[in-house]
Structure 1
């Protein structure tokens, strides 16, 4: 971050909002995540509970998925749209920072975990769709779903293989 104070940044901030492009694009992207959440709710009915879409300031839009296994271990998945990178990620989250730190320690040798540093908000964050085609909702949904299926199953299998971690 630069050394400028907030007053020095206001003109650039106002200019960025002046055209309305940021607001319109952000609103459309949030709508895409909401449609993705609706599709996941249908696809995973009976397998996962799918929470409402949440907004993390301007940087993340996401929804949680949880099943009994994850809930019993104080964990949940989040399908996250990272606005800065304009891509989709899968996060594994713990109910508390302590739970997250516990599982990060146990999982840090897994290929999808950064063994050098635990992310600020999760146990790990993995890109599941790097270049979404926002104009093809069906293809986007299928791509995110297939990546979620494969990775979530691998994660749960890894967790189950180490039940003594809890």
Structure 2
């Protein structure tokens, strides 16, 4: 098995820390300190939750109809990604607005940048700066019906080696 990604390693650390806390909680309870044990279990639960969300986001799955590929990389390291979706036209008429969001698939870097393109055409091109080699990106397609946003689809692309 190859080297685990940064997010996976971080998730594993969180799980390890959580398990340590649970072990300590058991010890405390054995010595009659139930209050402390409760607090530790609570904190461990939060850590576990965090590590699982990261893991589940690493294995992105395509729901339907949306595909994206890197079109070009210029000398500045800017990528142009083209996203297409092949929904039937009648499927789209129910939505007032369609909009694509591009973000790194690695949730730990989610605040690094975000770019949204509002569009109702079937192809959209985004430009953004690459952050690290082999980072995975996610393209999300949102549709809004009377102001309520719905995630219609998402897909993951990897930088070409």
TM-score w.r.t. the length of structure 1 is: 0.25
- When you count helix as a share of all residues, which structure comes out higher? 1
Structure with greater Cα Rg:
2
- When you count strand as a share of all residues, which structure comes out higher? 2
